Amino acid sequence: MQQALRSGVLDAEPVDRVEPRVEQARLAREREVAASRGLPLTIRGLRKSFGGNEVLRGIDLHIPAGQFVAVVGQSGCGKSTLLRLIAGLETIDAGTISFGAETRAEDVRVMFQEPRLLPWARVLSNVEVGLGRDRAAPDAQRRAEQALAEVGLDDKRGQWPATLSGGQKQRVALARALVSHPRVLAFDEPLGALDALTRISMQRLLERVWHDQAFTAILVTHDVAEAVALADRVLVIAEGRVAHDIQVDIARPRRRGSAELAALEGSILRELLQSADDATEL
């Protein structure tokens, strides 16, 4: 299926050549999205409070299948709560979240800031955990090995997690999230605890697996540069609502530090600061 998806994009290329590069990339992406195995996500009137404090005050949102959406906002704006609700880790107070299709638990996966690996299980066993109900299947080990190879750690399968570096642990966590071939993958600041260089290589890895596996990706991050580098679309959350919804129509692969990215990052940061000022005035 992924084969078909890729060749579809290639076939389309000559027609697109006449169009400007940005437009071409956007169209290619849209076609890819249409053929994606990811799930669309529709959120209506979503509310959530914790002990009288309303964190989400009515979120309305549609994410097409296969889109890469970044969610940014000040700390405490509710972006992590939104992600936990999408992943089914919290109960919904009001509103709906629907995936447009029947989902199994294995279809929606989360990756956290902490790797959350079992220290007493070897790397490969940790990846197998991600198979969910398919853990007992005869091909479980082969699938775990495949996922581990995908994140470039096939040589570490027999190691204890304690022997890995922070970036490697996070890659194992990614393999664990990928092994069930999820159709929606939610990332909660997955690179927040990594150093700058490891972060960049992890960003590339995230982009690559998203491209290869064509799932719908929702990335919660406090790093606007990361958001514009990876996402098709950036949502700014402020005071429990979607304050801005920005399309990132920049062709991939995106060059880190390019003027286009920097300009977009600057304008999003300005909006974030603006909403921060509004919040303090209130």
What are residue 180's DSSP bridge partners? none
Question: Looking at residue 44, what DSSP letter applies?
Answer: E
Among 42, 49, 125, 146, binds other proteins (CB under 8 A): 125
Among 40, 64, 130, 182, binds other proteins (CB under 8 A): 130
Annotate each residue in 153-172 with x if it binds other proteins (CB under 8 A) or - if it does not, as one string: -----x-xxxx---------
- Residue 120 binds to other proteins (criterion: CB under 8 A): yes
Look at residues 210, 216, 243, 244 and name the one whose alpha carbon lies nearest to residue 229.
Answer: 210
Give the nearest distance from C-beta 124 to other proteins in angstroms. 6
- Residue 96 binds to other proteins (criterion: CB under 8 A): no
**How many other C-beta atoms are found inside a 10 Å radius of the C-beta of residue 147?**
26
CA-CA-CA-CA torsion for 99, 55, 189, 124, nearest 10 degrees?
-60
- Tell me which H or E stretch contains 4: helix 2-16
- Residue 89 binds to other proteins (criterion: CB under 8 A): yes
Cis peptide before 138 (omega within 30 of 0): no
Q: How far from each other are the two terminal CA atoms of the chain, in whole angstroms? A: 51
- Residue 119 binds to other proteins (criterion: CB under 8 A): yes
- Residue 46 binds to other proteins (criterion: CB under 8 A): no
- Residue 238 binds to other proteins (criterion: CB under 8 A): no
Give the nearest distance from C-beta 185 to other proteins in angstroms. 12
- Residue 105 binds to other proteins (criterion: CB under 8 A): yes
Tokens of 243: 């304050």
Beta strands in 51-93 (DSSP E): 53-63, 68-72
Give the nearest distance from C-beta 89 to other proteins in angstroms. 7
Residues that bind other proteins in the complex, under the rule CB under 8 A: 87, 89, 105-106, 109-110, 112, 114, 116, 118-122, 124-125, 128-130, 132-133, 135-136, 140-141, 158, 160-163, 176
